Amino acid sequence: MDNLWSYFKNLFRQAEESSPSQPLVHELIERNEEEQKDYTFWKETLVLRRLLDWLSDQYAIYRVDRDRIDEAIDFLDTPSSKGFVVHFHETRYSQRDVTHFFDYLKEKVLSLNYRTQISDLRTYNRATWVETVQRHYLKPGLTIRQPGADGKFTQKFGNVMIELELRDDAVYNLRFRATIYKDSQFKEAAEFKELMQQLVA
């Protein structure tokens, strides 16, 4: 009983000490067998196709007229980082759908000869809600990072970060960001539009 009481005291102490830089919970993401089976089933549903078609349409609109994109999405376009944010709290997609989509984006990036650097989950105690961020951080695979004849490394699309944000256990945003190296040791990165084409194919 003393051990249980100590556990709860420690949990509340951690909650009080939680800050933007110090999460209350930090653990690796591990999908159990049931979740994996459900994910495999989900990939064959129309939900995924609708999400991919919508994402493809929004990116096409964005490239022509940025003011006409859906309110549920924003695109990031800086010299070093490109990506998008889907505001899922403004849509009717379920947490199940969004979580599977989050994992699907990771799967698509891995199919491009990337490797997982880390997949983790962090929970923070905010002023008026509890924030949980699931994160997939991916880097180009070792085989494509070998230096070429010019001694420069290939970076493909750069490093890829996919983040799923929940507030009080409800889906809020999904962020996808590719960040390239601006360094003389690396060759020019492939264009982000090529990555988008791979994601929605």
pLDDT tens-digit map of 172-193: 999 999 999 888 888 889 999 9
Residues 6+ apart with CB under 8 A from 66: 75
Task: Give the pLDDT mean for 31-39.
Answer: 98
The Cα 161–Cα 151 span in angstroms is 27
- The full set of domain ranges for the chain reads 24-200
First to last CA, the chain: 55
pLDDT tens-digit map of 106-164: 999 999 999 999 999 999 988 899 999 999 999 998 766 566 667 787 889 999 999 99
Whole-model pTM? 0.87
Q: Are 195 and 176 in contact (CB under 8 A)?
A: no
